[in-house]
Structure 1
């Protein structure tokens, strides 16, 4: 039953990530539900999401460029430093502390996801870019968050790119996938060195996520009501957050 749950969660998470995001709301709770400690579940869920990030980066490879005030090399550096910093922060967080903040992290990620369209319209409508130091600081902060907890990372990176000065959504998506891949890879290597990866569940979940992402990418073209899908994912996230608050 544990394997069946992981396969179903992986298929759902991969499909959701392919069309709208929010896959963490399924993969992370599934790992905790089968008995994996929250910190290890968080690390394992990040590993399971990594193939999807890499695949998306390859799909957007022609759109990856840095047309804003921050160079591509500088953004990659922030992703590496932030991903490592967030992973190390997770390593020094006690099990009790992380278990206590998990519901708040899920709730925060859900609210960020729900506010995504409004946030993007607001950010892109400003037409102003942050100074270089502030832009680097913002990207570093988001990368630290992504290295610590992966939920909601995509929309947070997109919003950060808007503040940095990007306006082309294709370029922003390409950079989002690239930085997500890099910081997640750095985090996963750190988690692995610390023995935080549950490898068998990770492999099952990762393969299922990859299949779900492939199917979701094709089905996503047929979805006409993205608002309803976003509402559904938001309700799932709120439900998972509520379950962890109660649990």
Structure 2
């Protein structure tokens, strides 16, 4: 039966393609963010609608994010005076709210927004970290010049941190592209935190956002209607998340940043051309 053979070959090819894409996405998320740029287009390319693909990407990336968080568990430091428990609560609530928005808003709205969301996330990837570092340094110099002493790095309080984290988590539950970079930039500008020091906490918060959104997607979306693509992406992301968390410690930061940014730019351009 030649027809069956062709179908099986196509399914095997798609499985291997999504397995590789999941591994790359999981590794990128562990290394510094950007997994959505690979996972979402890969799932759309296999025939899933953008909304279902976005939900499936979130579900698939959860295990990788949790594994990465486990690898970094001994390096997680508090964000300013905000407790880890309070920050996790904001991420959980915001992630659920963002996922609910994805499921309740018309799918056409998300389809039209995807290229622009990718473009926004790409700009954040390109300029978020250096801009936050420059703003923090400028703030420090001005404060020191005005007081004659070294100022406190924090310029926002716990309540503002939690509100900002909740808003970022909504974005993460709805789309998620570069949300980790946004977290790092927010903490850097508001609290003067070094991005390398706060990266383990970023991974923990990403895991919380994705996990909450996943629970809602599994119950209220049709993500389980396509088990094969989901399984392939999930297994790949699990391996990539574990390997990426170890790899990021060995590769120069500039190399990782170039890989993530190049991926983001290519995928954004392709989405605009596709639309």
Q: Indicate the residue corresponding to 1:199 in structure 2.
A: 227
Q: Indicate the residue corresponding to 2:18 in structure 1.
A: 6
Deviation digits for residues 74-122 of structure 1 (CA, Å, limit 9, x no counterpart): 2122112101110111111211111000001111111111224303413
Normalised TM-score (structure 2): 0.81
Q: Indicate the residue corresponding to 1:242 in structure 2.
A: 269
Q: Indicate the residue corresponding to 1:138 in structure 2.
A: 164
Aligned equivalent of 1:85, options 76, 80, 97: 97
> Is contact 2:65–2:206 with CA below 8 Å preserved after alignment?
yes
Deviation digits for residues 166-213 of structure 1 (CA, Å, limit 9, x no counterpart): 625455223212211111111001111112324321221111122233
How many equivalent pairs are there? 246
Q: Does 1:223 align with 2:251?
A: yes
> Is contact 1:9–1:27 with CA below 8 Å preserved after alignment?
yes
Q: Does 1:71 align with 2:83?
A: yes
Q: Does 1:37 align with 2:49?
A: yes
SS of the equivalent of 1:45 reads helix
**Worse-superposed segment, 12-21 or 98-107:** 12-21
Normalised TM-score (structure 1): 0.89
Deviation digits for residues 51-79 of structure 1 (CA, Å, limit 9, x no counterpart): 12111211222233425132223212211
**Structure 1 residues 165, 104: CA separation in 2 closer, same or farther (over 3 Å shift)?**
same
Stretches of structure 2 lacking an aligned partner (at least 5 in a row): 1-12, 140-152
Counterparts of 2:261 and 2:203, CA distance in 1: 21
Shift of 1:153: 1.5
Q: Indicate the residue corresponding to 1:165 in structure 2.
A: 191
**Worse-superposed segment, 207-216 or 173-182:** 207-216
Counterparts of 1:222 and 1:157, CA distance in 2: 23
Q: Indicate the residue corresponding to 1:188 in structure 2.
A: 214
SS of the equivalent of 2:156 reads coil
RMSD: 2.2
Stretches of structure 1 lacking an aligned partner (at least 5 in a row): none
Q: Does 1:52 align with 2:64?
A: yes
SS of the equivalent of 2:155 reads coil
Shift of 1:164: 4.3
Counterparts of 1:164 and 1:81, CA distance in 2: 22
Q: Does 1:113 align with 2:125?
A: yes
Counterparts of 2:196 and 2:260, CA distance in 1: 23
> Is contact 1:70–1:164 with CA below 8 Å preserved after alignment?
no
**Structure 1 residues 181, 34: CA separation in 2 closer, same or farther (over 3 Å shift)?**
same
**Structure 1 residues 211, 240: CA separation in 2 closer, same or farther (over 3 Å shift)?**
same
> Is contact 1:123–1:159 with CA below 8 Å preserved after alignment?
no
Shift of 1:218: 4.9
Q: Indicate the residue corresponding to 1:19 in structure 2.
A: 31
